[in-house]
Amino acid sequence: MNARIISALVIKDIVLIFRNKLFLLITVFGSIAYIAIYFVMPTTVDESLKIGLYSSSPVVPPVFQNLIDGGQEGVDVDKLDSDQALRDAVDEGTYIAGIALPADILTGDNPQINLYSRSDTPTEVSDSLAFMVSELAYVQSGQLPVTSQSVLGTDLIGKQIPMQDQMRTILPSILIIVQLFALATLISEEFEGRTVRAVLVSPANIVDFFMAKGVFGVGMAFGQGLIITAIIGGLATQAGIVILTLLLASLVITGIGFLCGAFSKDNMSAVSWSFVVMMLLLMPAMTALTPGVSNWVKIIPSYYFVDTLHRAMNFGMGWSDLWPSLLIMAAFAAAFTSLGVLALRKKVR
């Protein structure tokens, strides 16, 4: 292994990749787009349902008054002066629904409450709101509540993670995954153009060749991931874990890039296969922060990139909590890098 030779090959790869128009488009414009996306994402989470209320009865029933006074968590109720004003407000989208209490709400026998919602509101939303109003009516009529709450896991009421913070974990992962394309096409171009043979009859040997590709792949992925993460404030919490996660992610992607390059018979198939592998890797990245992600997603390595970053950045979890995930990532990195090197070695021979 010769450092001078490896550095010459790495520099060559950097020159070549930056002359690849598609790579420039994906990486440079992609990076700009990611940063722009980050900064336009909402920084707060609105946990409440905004509802309007109008009461034809001069006295608003206490349970509903309690809503107006903010006594019910998750519901934000405004009192309006007329039924028409309520309907208009719902139609404009100011409120997700409007509750119109009849004049006989307190005295009538089975009074009718109108629940207004826009026609494009999903049925399940209006049904849910109907249940809520119904339950309020039960309590209003003197029935005791039949349920109570118990929170499991960390209670994030009032501390929900806004979309911008969630993006902070997704965007670097996506940027690293996309580097797969660069490495796969670089490798396939070396074989298609037969330049690998030219290099291997020089003092550069196969180890130098692989090391150079590995250094390039990891360097590009990690470097870009780190820069983006730093720009969007991702190093503010548990920086050590974040950096290690980015590094391990880069190693995994480099190994997968080796595999794609080794199994592609030409540049076109390298582009094709790396796109489909990227799509597969992006699935967990897109869905990792969606509640109820299917377990099968957890066998895809990129799930751990996002999940680890999320738990480190947004929950401040430390080494004692995250070492299993880091270990899994390290295992993936070792596995894919080894497989990638073996596949490439076989192709060179």
Partner 1 sequence: MSLRRVGILALKDLLYGSRSFLIIFVILMPLLMWLLVEMIFSGTSVPRLGIADEGNSQIPAIAATYESIELTEYASASALEQAVEVGNADAGIVIPAGFDAAAAAGTTNLTVYIWGESLASNRTILQSTVSTMIRQVAGQAAPVQIETVAIGEGESIPWSQRLAPFIVVMPIVMGGIYLTATAVVQEKERKTLNALVVTPASLTEVYFAKALLGFIFSLIMGIAILLLTSSLGNQPWLLILFMALGAVMAVELGLIFSSFVNNVNTLFATARLAQLIIFVPALFYMFPWFPQWVSRIFPSHYFVTPIMDISTSGATWADVSAEVFFLIGANVAIGLIAWQMIKRIKQFAA
Partner 2 sequence: MTDAIVAENLTYWYGDLVAVDHIDFNVASGEIFGFLGPNGAGKSTTVKMLTAQMKPKDGTATILGMDVTTKVRQIQSQIGVCFELPNMYEQMSAIENLKLFARLFNTKDFDGYDLLKRVDLAGRENERVENYSKGMRQRLMVARALVSKPKILFLDEPTSGLDPSSADGIRDIIRKESQRGATVFLTTHDMMEADELCDRVAFMDEGKLVALDTPHNLKLKYGRRALKAQVAGRGGELEEREVVMDRPDTPKAVEELFSSENVVTVHSEEATLGAIFMQITGRGLSG
Question: What residues from 117 to 146 belong to the interface with partner 2 (CB under 8 A)?
Answer: none
Map the footprint of partner 1 across residues 3-22, applying CB under 8 A: 20-22
Name the amino acid, one letter, at 197: R
Can you read off the two tokens belonging to residue 64? 């509903």
User: Is residue 63 close enough to count as binding partner 1 by CB under 8 A?
Assistant: no
Query: With contacts defined by CB under 8 A, how many residues of the chain interact with partner 1?
Result: 88
CA angle, 26 then 28 then 31, to 5°:
90
Task: Please select the residue that binds partner 1; options are 11, 14, 24, 342, rule is CB under 8 A.
Answer: 24
Of the two residues 164 and 337, which places its CB atom closer to partner 1 in the complex? 164
Residue 198: CB minimum distance to partner 2, A: 5
3 contributes a contact to partner 2 by CB under 8 A: no
C-alpha span between 30 and 237 (Å, rounded): 25
Residue from 31, 48, 121, 205 that binds partner 2 (CB under 8 A)? 205
Cα(344)–Cα(212) distance, integer angstroms: 13
Q: Is 215 in the site for partner 2 (CB under 8 A)?
A: no
Q: What part of residues 155-174 is at the interface with partner 1 (CB under 8 A)?
A: 155-157, 160-161
**Spatial separation of the C-alpha atoms in residues 234 and 256, rounded to whole Å:** 25
Contact 96, 129 (CB under 8 A): yes
* 130 interacts with, out of partner 2, partner 1, none, CB within 5 to 8 A per kind: partner 1
| CA 290/CA 170 separation, integer angstroms | 12
Burial (Cβ within 10 Å: 0-12, 13-18, ≥19) of residue 75: middle
**Longest Cα separation, the chain:** 97
**By CB under 8 A, residue 292 contacts partner 1:** yes
Site for partner 2 in 16-35 (CB under 8 A): 16, 19-20
Residue 66 interacts with, from partner 2, partner 1, none (CB under 5-8 Å by kind): none
Give DSSP secondary structure letters for 157-196.
Answer: TT-PPPHHHHHHHHHHHHHHHHHHHHHHHHHHHHHHTTHH
Type and span of the H or E element at 345: helix 319-348
Over the window 149 to 188, marking each residue x when it contacts partner 2 by CB under 8 A and - when it does not, the resulting string is: ----------------------------------------
| Part of the chain binding partner 1 (CB under 8 A), chosen from 40-48, 231-239, 319-327, 334-342 | 40-48
Q: Among 243, 280, 334, 348, which residue interacts with partner 1 (rule: CB under 8 A)?
A: 280
- Strands, sheet with 75-79, edge to edge from the N-terminal-most edge strand: 75-79, 49-55, 97-101
Query: Closer to partner 1 at the Cβ: 31 or 114?
Result: 114
- From the number of C-beta atoms within 10 Å of its C-beta (0-12, 13-18, 19+), residue 149 rates as exposed
Nearer to partner 1, 147 or 320 (CB): 147
Out of partner 2, partner 1, none, what residue 200 binds, judged by CB under 5 to 8 A for its kind, is partner 2
Q: Is 202 in the site for partner 2 (CB under 8 A)?
A: yes
Binding partner at 8 among partner 1, partner 2, none, C-beta below 5 to 8 Å by kind = partner 2
3-state secondary structure of 132: helix
| Contact residues: partner 2, CB under 8 A | 4-5, 8-9, 12, 15-16, 19-20, 193-195, 197-205
